[in-house]
Amino acid sequence: MLKFTEEHEWLNIDGDVATVGITAHAAEQLGDLVFVELPEVGASFSKGDDAATVESVKAASEVYCPLDGEITAVNEAITADPALVNSDPMGAGWFFKLKLKNVSDVDGLLDESGYKELIG
């Protein structure tokens, strides 16, 4: 199940684990990424917390934790090659996996049509 936030993160939900990244729209707005800082595995976050940082030639930006949970994995490939986020933001450019504290919170996120409406 694919869900989106108004802050331009996407979540691919599989049971109680969400793979999280930034949307293609966000990657386009940021421009070419030159640096990615990921959270530590085992770190717990609340919805809206700063979970990761990206820097592009244009600006630095935070990637917010979309829901309450614990980081179970991070994508080290994007720290070595931040351009992966630009070339495949919703595939190989994922940021982290989040074990959700409350799976029902997913219902409060946008579906794909709602996200497309948000970005116009």
109 and 11 in contact (C-beta within 8 Å)?
Answer: yes
Number of domains observed in the structure of the chain: 1
Q: How many angstroms from the chain centroid is the CA of residue 5? A: 9
State the number of CA atoms in the 13 A half-sphere of 72 facing the CB: 12
Residue 86 inside a domain? The answer is yes
Residue 117 inside a domain? The answer is no
Chunk the chain into consecutive blocks of 10 residues (it has 120) and report each block's average pLDDT, rounded to whole numbers. 97 98 96 97 98 94 97 98 97 98 97 96
Residue 76 inside a domain? The answer is yes
CATH of residue 58: 2.40.50.100
Residue 54 inside a domain? The answer is yes
Q: Which domain covers residue 29, as residue numbers?
A: 1-111
pLDDT value, residue 58: 87
Please identify which residue in the block is written with the tokens 């109680």.
Answer: 16
pLDDT value, residue 116: 97
